[in-house]
């Protein structure tokens, strides 16, 4: 189950072109016993994710949950302790439901100041170490610095970037399968 925000919900592009759909295609070719459920919602925060995780886990009963949340918290300047606590709750809920977690890291633009952006970025590896879950260090590695990979809003990747994102995720997901 992919549990994320607009970056996983294929915001502004055809859903079939998003990285989650591309992941499903890869699984059909390599590990057909798995299927992907995309439980991502554009605009989702970690608070919203925490509020609906138990219901999503009960409904879909995933073996693995790819948690891609936090970017909207950071872009809104929300308190970092709340982001960390909400992600902690999501990971703990996944564990209670016997689902493995792949945590997807995110970074913020520098205009939020060096302290906030560094502390935000540090949340992901800290949680990965604490809970011993696999981590994608940065979902947009090699993509974020290339303007041509983003829609006009400068936030959401284009269809051209989606295969690159899927490969970032696949590299860390494959050993979990």
**Residues with active-site annotation:** 6, 153, 156
Tell me the helix, strand and coil percentages in the chain, rounded to 5.
Answer: 55, 10, 35
Q: Which residue has the tokens 């209670």?
A: 96
Q: Which residue has the tokens 């995309």?
A: 38
Contacts of 33 (CB under 8 A, 6+ apart): none
Q: Is 101 helix (H, G, I), strand (E, B) or coil?
A: strand
Q: At 3, which helix (H) or strand (E)?
A: strand 2-4
Length of the chain: 177
Identify the bridge partners of residue 104 per DSSP, sorted by sequence position.
Answer: 136
> Which pair of tokens denotes residue 31?
């590990």
Q: Which residue has the tokens 């540090």?
A: 122
């Amino acid at each position: 189950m992919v549990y994320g925000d607009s970056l996983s919900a294929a915001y502004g592009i055809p859903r079939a072109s998003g990285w989650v759909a591309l992941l499903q295609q890869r699984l059909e070719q390599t590990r057909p016993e798995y299927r992907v459920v995309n439980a991502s919602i554009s605009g989702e925060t970690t608070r919203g994710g925490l509020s609906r995780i138990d219901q999503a886990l009960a409904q879909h009963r995933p073996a693995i949950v790819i948690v891609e949340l936090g970017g909207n918290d950071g872009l809104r300047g929300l308190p970092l302790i709340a982001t960390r606590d909400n992600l902690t709750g999501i990971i703990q809920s996944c564990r209670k439901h016997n689902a493995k977690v792949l945590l997807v890291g995110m970074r913020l633009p520098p205009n939020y100041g060096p302290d906030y952006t560094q502390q935000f970025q540090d949340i992901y590896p800290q949680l990965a170490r604490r809970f011993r879950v696999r981590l994608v260090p940065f979902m947009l590695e090699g993509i974020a610095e290339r303007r041509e990979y983003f829609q006009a809003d400068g936030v959401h990747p284009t269809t051209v970037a989606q295969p690159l994102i899927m490969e970032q995720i696949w590299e860390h997901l494959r050993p979990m399968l």
